[in-house]
Amino acid sequence: MDWFKRKDKKIKEKNKKSIPDGLWQKCSSCNEILFKPELDKSLSVCRHCNYHFRMHYRRYLDLIIDEGTSERLFSSLKSTNFLNFSANRGYDDQLKDAYLKSGKTDSIEFYRGNINNKSIIMGVMNFDFIGGSMGSVLGEAISRAIVKSRDEKIPLIIICKSGGARMQEGAISLMQLAKISSQLAKFSNEGGLYISILTDPTTGGVTASYGMLGDIILAEPGALIGFAGPRVIKQTIGQDLPEGFQRSEFLLEKGFIDQIVTRDRLKDRLYQIIDILN
């Protein structure tokens, strides 16, 4: 089978244009090649098909909160390995890596700021910190944010992006569901307004608690939202899952969320909701 062997040792490509590394990105939905600086300008949304790429949490702050008004809250909270947990890797090492990689102390940050001059408290989850997982520090931060919103009588917004509970904190991580949910119930009884925004992906314990407890629940287009992953569900029920299962559009149709909002309209939509309901 010599006939398809390469005869020349080196094939020279003429006029090959060099493409600088990191300047292009292929759209996962429509396969168009996108120029990264342009993609950044369009809030990481594909201009051909409206696919919403995952966006770094800092950019949500710039997008939503009025310039120069944001003030960081509860920044002294920091995760530790209180159970001395160690599996394939020690939780201490994982935390150390996460601090270095993200420069942050946990998977959520809270800010007080304005949306078109209206005061709000907003939390935004950082997926770079152990997959945006929910541990005791996150629970405490959200709890304090709810109390602060209640005291100051201003709306609370949380931008969710999470792989679920942080199992390295065992049952303590699961207890955050109850802690946050009961605080939100009190907040709601006293007339507080809480808006949750579900972004890709919002799964596990976050979906099972504050993700789905918003007075208004918004979602970005095409976001994966669910409790268990589709593979696990498929194995458990032994049936094929419907098309678009666990995506924002499917959840909207089934009544789990109130509205799908594209990134460019997010700030305006939040302002409208707060203006009407608060």
Q: Does residue 178 bind Zn ion (CB under 5 A)?
A: no
The structure tokens listed for 168 are 């390295």
Q: Write out the binding residues for Zn ion, residues 247-276 only, by CB under 5 A.
A: none
Strand segments, DSSP code E, in the chain are 24-26, 33-35, 71-73, 108-115, 118-125, 156-162, 194-203, 216-219, 225-226, 259-260
Q: Which helix (H) or strand (E) holds 141?
A: helix 136-152
- Residue identified by tokens 């989850």 is 125
Residue 48 CB, nearest approach to Zn ion (Å): 4
Q: Does residue 46 bind Zn ion (CB under 5 A)?
A: yes
Residue 31 CB, nearest approach to Zn ion (Å): 7
CB atoms within 10 A of CB 167: 16
Q: Does residue 153 bind Zn ion (CB under 5 A)?
A: no
Cβ proximity to Zn ion: between 42 and 80 the closer is: 42
Q: Does residue 27 bind Zn ion (CB under 5 A)?
A: yes
Residue 28 CB, nearest approach to Zn ion (Å): 8
Q: Which of 25, 43, 51, 234 binds Zn ion (CB under 5 A)?
A: 51
Cβ proximity to Zn ion: between 103 and 244 the closer is: 244
Question: Could you tell me if 188 and 228 are in contact, meaning their C-beta atoms sit under 8 angstroms apart?
Answer: no
Torsion angles phi and psi, residue 277, rounded to 5: -95, -20
- How many positions of this chain bind Zn ion (CB under 5 A)? 7
Q: Which of 23, 30, 33, 241 binds Zn ion (CB under 5 A)?
A: 30
Which parts of this chain interact with Zn ion (CB under 5 A)? Answer: 27, 29-30, 46, 48-49, 51
